[in-house]
Structure 1
Amino acid sequence: MSKELLDALYILEKEKGISRDILIDAIEAALISAYRRNFNQAQNVRIDMNFDKGSMRVFARKDVVDQVFDARLEISVEEAQLINPNYMLDDVVEMEVTPKDFGRIAAQTAKQVVTQRVREAERGIIYSEFIDREEDIMTGIVQRQDSRFIYVSLGKIEALLPINEQMPNESYKPHDRIKVFITKVEKTSKGPQIFVSRTHPGLLKRLFEIEVPEIFDGTVEIKSVAREAGDRSKISVHSDNEEVDPVGSCVGQKGQRVQAIVNELKGEKIDIVKWSEDPVVFVANALSPSKVLEVLIKEDDKGTTVIVPDYQLSLAIGKRGQNARLAAKLTGWKIDIKSETEAREAGIYPLEDHEPLLSQDSYDNDEDFDVEE
């Protein structure tokens, strides 16, 4: 043991943020354990380290008792008073028991303890940094992959991108830079473990926050997101400022803002619709790009019957029902779509004294919308 160790502890305290006192306490505890293990001793011992002198001593601690049952832990009053006449019953006597070659063991133990504590501290710092970034977006670099995960470097740590969180329309190669959404940060015995996603709806929301200043500063709010990753998504937006067009803000001049997000998501189509507290208007907007004649509300089961022109039926339903399915996710309402002819035959359309909706406030970035097959 030497002053160099004390200097090293000071450096660790400054650079790693690990308290020197915590390290010293840990070293002392490890030295006690090493003494008992290496010298087959069961005494109650104390370690005295003097960094200024570069010395270290081991003291056995024994309780002063009337009758000794275990000589390793107890000492009689008579024997104690031979050491110091002032010792009394229930006092604790300390006797130095430092082994001759304990310095070598102490140095090895101190190194192991410091290394372990530094590793634990670094893990703790990483965990603290990333636990605050749950549900946030980061740019990572693809490192490698196996049968279960793609490993993405986030700088200080590799994150795990599971198979079910990977977009079906993209492949990943080493050194590719990708944006990922942090879904979960776990503390494990081997250090923090971070799970990320490319399919989570939160990724789409965070991308809009990056690309659209009005969303970032709160002028425009994303109310809901429905996503089928790699294929199509819908988002609803709203602004309390009547002078701000929330849909136009997200689209950007000549569609530049939304196109940047489409490019990041490898061509995923995105519909942007205007949110409304009126479910009739909101459901009609959510079915963009199809036109809607009427929305009939059934409050008891939060269901709707939506009537569309005959020629718009396939467009409203979408390929494999995707448009209707996404609209239902986006609004939280069940949606049953009927053509105008079906609605007339059922006697539910037209309604008296009611103007058809026909127009919606929305944006569809795909002119060739897929229809039902």
Structure 2
Amino acid sequence: MNNEFMDALASIERDKGIDKEIILEAIEQALITGYKRNFNSAQNVRVDIDRETGVIRVYARKEVVEEVFDIRLEIAIEEAKSINPLYDVDDVVEIEVTPRDFGRIAAQTAKQVVTQRVREAERGIIYSDFIDREEDIMTGIVQRQDHRFIYVDLGKVEALMPVGEQMPNESYKHNDRIKAYITKVEKTTKGPQIMISRTHPGLLKRLFELEVPEIYDGTVEIKSVSREAGERSKISVHADDEDVDPVGSCVGPRGQRVQTIVNELKGEKIDIVKWSADPQVYVANALSPSKVLQVTVSDDEKMTQVVVPDYQLSLAIGKRGQNARLAAKLTGWKIDIKSQTDAEELGIYDANAPIEEIQQDEDDYMDNIEGNKED
């Protein structure tokens, strides 16, 4: 090695952010192995690379002893003192044993070590960049797909989207630009592996954070999200400031904000409801767009019994039970829905229940429904 090689290492240090000293130490360790393998040596050696000139020297390390049993590892005290009178028993003497043609081996070893270290450093940098983006969304470009994954280019790395994380109402073509939620970032022997999703509830949450300034700045808080990707989602929001309408903020003027998210999710319907610490109010709101007459809470079983108008029963339950199922996921409460007629027959409906106190304002629902173009 020579000055040009040292200059190249300095350049790598600047461009790749890899400490030159770390590379040199790795080369020295690799050269010890190379020396022993190529010169059939079992002795202890040390390799030193001059940090200024790049000159390489190999030193045999021998312990000073009274009586020599292995000349590869030991040196007699008399011989050691002939080298330096200050040596004593148990000291270590270093004798240069650099082979004449060691430069060729050194060049090959250095190239391999530098290539490996640069590759490891680049992988480390990518991992560091993406581990901070876990549970965030990024825009990528679809590259290809097979029976297991869709491969999406995120710039520095190719992410994997498993079949189970792909939306059922979407088809993905080469060069399509998509937003995806990063679910996992792992280190592997082949570099960082990035797993992404289009079905994760976190994608919906992040889209709202991007689209609604009040959520981004903390004025409006997303309390919970439940989602059946490609079909329907529910999101509950809350604002500490009573003058802020959390639902209206998310819907946006003429439904523009929520419609942007609906378009990104290829028509997935989104119900935005007001969160409440009162489970009666919260469950009633979560069953949007159905109106609710009464909610009875059983704290022990984490169960609610809900009464709805007869003509709204199918709307409250939803197609294949979807609306009720999403409301239960959103609130964390089990929900048993009864029609008004059935509830009266069972004697569980209080006809005097104040409807306007159970559910959020009807105007909020109409804005929400209009923003989603509810069927």
Name the TM tier (shorter chain). Answer: over 0.9
Distance 2:283 2:180 in 1: 30
Instruction: Kindly report the root-mean-square deviation, in angstroms, between the aligned alpha carbons of the 2 structures.
Output: 1.4
Distance 2:312 2:181 in 1: 36
Distance 1:219 1:54 in 2: 60
**Residue equivalent to 2:297:** 297
TM-superposed CA distance for 1:39, in Å, is 1.2
1:95 equivalenced with 2:123 (yes/no):
no
Deviation sequence 1:186-245 (CA, Å, 0-9, x none):
111221111111000000000001111111111111110000000000000111111111
TM-score, normalising length: structure 1: 0.95
Segment drifting more, 32-41 vs 298-307: 32-41
**Residue equivalent to 2:205:** 205
**Residue equivalent to 2:215:** 215
| Structure 2 contact 316–324 (Cα < 8 Å) conserved | yes
TM-superposed CA distance for 1:17, in Å, is 1.1
Which residue identity lines up with residue 218 of structure 1 in the other structure? Answer: G
Q: Secondary structure at the match of 1:259?
A: helix
**Residue equivalent to 1:151:** 151
| Structure 2 contact 60–97 (Cα < 8 Å) conserved | yes
Change (3 A) 1:53 1:200: closer
Distance 2:81 2:373 in 1: 99
**Residue equivalent to 2:353:** 354
Instruction: Describe how 1:247-262 pairs up with structure 2 within 5 A.
Output: 247-262=247-262
Distance 2:283 2:68 in 1: 86
| Structure 1 contact 294–306 (Cα < 8 Å) conserved | yes
Which residue identity lines up with residue 92 of structure 1 in the other structure? Answer: V
**Residue equivalent to 1:8:** 8
| Structure 1 contact 288–360 (Cα < 8 Å) conserved | no
| Structure 1 contact 148–162 (Cα < 8 Å) conserved | yes
TM-superposed CA distance for 1:42, in Å, is 1.5
| Structure 2 contact 294–353 (Cα < 8 Å) conserved | no
* Matched length: 368
Which residue identity lines up with residue 36 of structure 2 in the other structure? Answer: R
Q: Secondary structure at the match of 1:224?
A: strand
Distance 1:231 1:19 in 2: 51
Distance 2:307 2:373 in 1: 22
Q: Secondary structure at the match of 1:222?
A: strand
Q: Secondary structure at the match of 2:355?
A: coil
Deviation sequence 1:288-334 (CA, Å, 0-9, x none):
11111100111111100000011110010000000000000011110
1:25 equivalenced with 2:14 (yes/no):
no
Q: Secondary structure at the match of 1:312?
A: helix
Distance 1:54 1:219 in 2: 60
Q: Which runs of 5+ in 1 are unaligned?
A: none
Which residue identity lines up with residue 213 of structure 2 in the other structure? Answer: P
Q: Secondary structure at the match of 1:301?
A: coil
Instruction: Describe how 1:276-291 pairs up with structure 2 within 5 A.
Output: 276-291=276-291
**Residue equivalent to 1:56:** 56
**Residue equivalent to 1:170:** 170
TM-superposed CA distance for 1:287, in Å, is 0.5
| Structure 2 contact 258–372 (Cα < 8 Å) conserved | no
1:320 equivalenced with 2:320 (yes/no):
yes
| Structure 1 contact 294–308 (Cα < 8 Å) conserved | yes
TM-superposed CA distance for 1:368, in Å, is 4.6
Q: Which runs of 5+ in 2 are unaligned?
A: none
TM-score, normalising length: structure 2: 0.95
Identity of aligned residues (%): 73
| Structure 2 contact 269–374 (Cα < 8 Å) conserved | no
Deviation sequence 1:20-58 (CA, Å, 0-9, x none):
111111111111111111111111111122254442111
